[in-house]
Structure 1
Amino acid sequence: MSEGNNQQAALQRSLGLGSAVLTGVAYMAPMIVLGTYGVVAQASAGTVPSAYVLALVAMLFTAYSYGRMAAAYPVSGSAYTYVGQAIGPKMGFLAGWLILLDYFFLPLVIWLIGASYLSAEFPGVPTGVWVFAYILVTSALNIIGIRVATTVNFVLMSFEVLVLLVFIALSMAHFWMVDTGAGALTPFFNAHTTLAATSAGAALAAYSFIGFDAVTTLTEETKQPERNIPRAVMATALIGGLIFIIASYAVGLAHPGTSFQNVDSAAFGIATTIGGDLVAAIFIAGMIVTQFASGVAAQATASRLLYAMGRDGVLPRSVFGYLAPKLNTPVFGIALIGIVGFAGVFLSVSTSTSFINFGAFSAFTLVNLSVIVHCLRQNARPGLWHIIGWIGMPLIGALIDAYLLYSLDTPAHVIGGIWLLIGIVALGWLTRGFRQPPPKMRIDESAS
């Protein structure tokens, strides 16, 4: 670990507000709005932009709370750090365990989405073959230890944004030139619109926002972090949300309703409709770039989380705390994530994104509550604006996140509940029946 400590000691505050925001938006992968369009449309009864508006509101309140805690604890942090500091180490452990559900299974969802679109382009090839190919390539790269430079990530994001802009422009052109049967407000509400349906769609749409909170891990490399990190987290969520709303609105005009040949790869069929085979091919290229880059980063992130837990004794140290000689990579964690990824063959995009969001919404709710507890522990006599900022807004954020958590489907609650139960049992074992403090599980929500 000496090498890692030396790297930590050498960190320089070189990032400004713009660089932090750009990194956060790149992490979110803007094209994901197209990758999950079909499942969100089906869940929301065809009101995808409304679902994203509700998800954005929830994320902005949560981003505000992340910013508050980042200012209070200006170190590279996470839900685990904030909840542990404000509420207590045992709740912090459970927050870290819940966010681990998010990041441990995130590669599975990424590979499944990518495979679904490749199967739509090449229907003769089974989805499982593409899932295997994604797992094989990304696992090999992560074991070798290849690190994609920041500039390369920005180039990939630029290509994603270009494809997304072309998709939006062609969708709008298709709406103006062809009678799609949609009115100007149809994507936002229709005869089948209900709050329950929009909320269910928002619970899935929130998957697109995963990563805005990772900006907090840049705290020690950002200039004036107490000022810039809260702004960067808010700006990242807002910019990402606006992109998602605009893109889903344009697609909703071009293809109103929820009738898709394949709901998991709905945008591929829409691409063919609005631009023919050429646009469909460009779209697939964009999705491959998006899912490949995201898959490499997500697997690297999750494997580092497992390594941190092994290093700290939360998981068996001899297995998960092991680094391959010369390569210095957590090979067992990478391999385990790859093996788990094969379960994507038996899952749908809707099911996999929903239980991923169980971990995210649970941790987000706890982060909002940690702001309130932090405020109450200051023993100060706050004024009205202080109460609104430190209690009112986080409380609204916690209630919205809890409602979206409730809006997830039954499989998500079952899988998430089992995961939480395992975490409680693990916490009881590690703390000798909850009598001792848990191990210090240093979890960051970004790859080292």
Structure 2
Amino acid sequence: MSKFIKRLFLKQDPAFYQDKDSHLKPSLTTKDLLGLGLGMVIGTALFTLPGIVAADHTGPAVPLAFILGAIGAGMASFAYAETASVLPFAGSAFTWINVLFGEFFGWLAGWALLAEYFISIAFVASGWSAYVQGFIGSFGFKLPISISTGFNPKTGGFIDLFAAFAVLIVGFVLSKGISQVSRIENFLVVIKLTVVILFIVVGLTSIHAQNYVPFIPAHKVGTSFGGFPGILAGAAQIFLAYVGFDAISANTAEAKDPEKTMPRGIIGTLLIGTIFFVVVSLILVGMFKYNLYEGNAEPAAWALRKSGHFVTANLLSIVAIVGMFAALIGIHLASSRLVYAFGRDGLLPVFLGKVNQKHLPNNALVIVTIAALIVASVFPFTFLANLVSAGTLIAFIMVSLGIYALRPREGKDLPLPKFRMPFYPILPCVSAAFSTMIFWGLNIDAKLLMLGWFVIGMLIYFVYGIKHSKLSKKTTK
């Protein structure tokens, strides 16, 4: 038994990752990383979630849910920035935890991230579909329910063709190379920011002060609405908004001078994104009573139409339709790099860890695209919104605690970082505890499905991964 336990704690040598990832071409600058991060952050969550969270959990206090989420994400971002600076390898938390705590724990962190990435792709694609349908619906054109929503026997929904189409297009674009993708991403982010600012300016003219009263509705006992429980539940649901810097870290091996660019990209994404979240959500709940946003996956465009700003509403819809591809690109890219890392380490079939003649891990990209296409086209938007945050929070907890294993090795067998998490050793513990509190605020479906996902992950690891792992082969030589 002791030999088995030691095997679980066996750590990978960072030199292994340095050698394997040398086949990936570093091309991302700080600007590109900010583009990827803001493409994720100022995307589907900003355009879709504030209204739903306000109606289901917080009332007008939805900005407080974003701020609560930002505090948790902010502390974790410091841990991510330091770790990415010391261990600039593909795979994000999977690779880092493998080096710091051992392969089994790295696999669990990576497996949690994989759930987050797959569901995030599906969530963004589903949100994109909602905006497309809202836009064409404003001109009187509607698709049959059977092909315009996820599977829902009650409504007759079967498959979401728009969501499937979005996943396919992004998969094709990514197969052409990351340098071309980063240029597209940066362009889309500039357009999105411009129209979000336009929404803020126009929305300010349609605010009604009475919609903010009461700002924090009383808690309804037995529900997740109102009071601090509602704000906590809202923060748990919108936490997917902060997955942007996690997506950045998955591409560390393809960043130029990652010791400097990764901390700047991660922390910059969080700061800029949080400002927009708070301002947009505050305006949105001021325009209309929060309960009118229930189940509305395109609240910003809807609010503008209802306020008589038809042209601005359709402009926002068009930009959301185009701009959500930026979010899809970021998370699709991150998930393919994570699956590549699994194959690189032998924990999944080795062909997934191969790169083509253009130094692109397109085998992993194809598998991710197929899996995401199935999830995006079948599961409805509101169901996905409740699930996507769980994997992010688990990764945040593990990376925050990872600082305790990282710090003693810096300057010894690991390089000294150019950025360090402040207030060590207090802040890593507080960060992990804060993310745990938000995780506790998730609904029961998210927790149970995450538990089931971990059971599947452990079965794969003990049946396949541990036998084929490159680490196992190295130790048996």
The answer for the alignment partner of 2:277 in structure 1 is 244
2:451 pairs with one of 396, 417, 431: 417
Q: Does the 8 Å CA contact 2:69/2:236 hold for their aligned counterparts? A: yes
Write the letter of the residue equivalent to 1:170: V
The answer for the alignment partner of 1:372 in structure 2 is 404
CA distance in 1, matches of 2:76, 2:448: 24
Question: Which stretch shifts more, 140-149 or 284-293?
Answer: 140-149
The answer for the alignment partner of 2:8 in structure 1 is none
Shift of 1:166: 1.2
2:429 pairs with one of 388, 395, 405: 395
Change (3 A) 1:208 1:431: closer
The answer for the alignment partner of 2:154 in structure 1 is none
Secondary structure of 1:264 counterpart: coil
2:342 pairs with one of 309, 313, 317: 309
The answer for the alignment partner of 1:189 in structure 2 is 216
Q: Does the 8 Å CA contact 1:309/1:315 hold for their aligned counterparts? A: yes
Change (3 A) 1:222 1:141: closer
Where in structure 2 are the equivalents of 1:94-133 lying within 5 Å?
A: 94-123=108-137, 124-125=142-143, 126=145, 127=148, 128-133=160-165
Write the letter of the residue equivalent to 1:190: P
Shift of 1:410: 1.6
CA distance in 1, matches of 2:329, 2:33: 20
The answer for the alignment partner of 1:59 in structure 2 is 73
> For 1:268-296, what per-residue CA distance to the aligned partner results, in whole angstroms no more than 9, with x for missing partners?
32121234321221121011112223324
Change (3 A) 1:432 1:230: closer
Q: Does the 8 Å CA contact 2:56/2:294 hold for their aligned counterparts? A: no
CA distance in 2, matches of 1:339, 1:242: 34
CA distance in 2, matches of 1:374, 1:413: 29
The answer for the alignment partner of 1:444 in structure 2 is none
> For 1:151-174, what per-residue CA distance to the aligned partner results, in whole angstroms no more than 9, with x for missing partners?
332221111011111111121110
Shift of 1:54: 0.2
> For 1:379-427, what per-residue CA distance to the aligned partner results, in whole angstroms no more than 9, with x for missing partners?
99xxxxx997222111111011111111111221122111111111222
The answer for the alignment partner of 1:79 in structure 2 is 93
Shift of 1:113: 0.6
CA distance in 2, matches of 1:238, 1:312: 34
Question: Which stretch shifts more, 391-400 or 130-139?
Answer: 130-139
Question: Which stretch shifts more, 60-69 or 79-88?
Answer: 79-88
Where in structure 2 are the equivalents of 1:202-213 lying within 5 Å?
A: 202-213=235-246
The answer for the alignment partner of 1:29 in structure 2 is 42
> For 1:78-134, what per-residue CA distance to the aligned partner results, in whole angstroms no more than 9, with x for missing partners?
112222222222211211111111123322111111111222233421422322332
TM-score scaled to structure 2, two decimals? 0.77
1:88 pairs with one of 86, 102, 122: 102
Question: Which stretch shifts more, 288-297 or 351-360?
Answer: 288-297
The answer for the alignment partner of 1:258 in structure 2 is 291
Q: Does the 8 Å CA contact 2:195/2:319 hold for their aligned counterparts? A: yes
Q: Does the 8 Å CA contact 1:40/1:201 hold for their aligned counterparts? A: yes
Change (3 A) 1:431 1:98: same
Change (3 A) 1:326 1:45: closer
The answer for the alignment partner of 2:382 in structure 1 is 350
Change (3 A) 1:168 1:200: same
The answer for the alignment partner of 1:360 in structure 2 is 392
Structure 2 residue 51 is matched with structure 1 residue 38: yes
Where in structure 2 are the equivalents of 1:189-338 lying within 5 Å?
A: 189-192=216-219, 193-216=226-249, 217-218=251-252, 221-223=255-257, 225-226=258-259, 229-260=262-293, 262-317=295-350, 320=352, 330=362, 333-334=365-366, 337-338=369-370
Shift of 1:252: 1.6
> For 1:248-279, what per-residue CA distance to the aligned partner results, in whole angstroms no more than 9, with x for missing partners?
11112112322236422333321212343212
Q: Does the 8 Å CA contact 1:163/1:286 hold for their aligned counterparts? A: yes
- The answer for unaligned runs of 5 or more in structure 1 is 381-385, 441-448
Secondary structure of 1:289 counterpart: helix
Give the total of aligned pairs: 423
Shift of 1:205: 1.3
CA distance in 2, matches of 1:400, 1:38: 24
Change (3 A) 1:43 1:390: farther
CA distance in 2, matches of 1:71, 1:146: 21
CA distance in 1, matches of 2:232, 2:379: 22
Q: Does the 8 Å CA contact 2:342/2:348 hold for their aligned counterparts? A: yes
- Root-mean-square deviation (CA, aligned residues, Å) is 3.6
CA distance in 1, matches of 2:254, 2:354: 26
Change (3 A) 1:431 1:120: closer
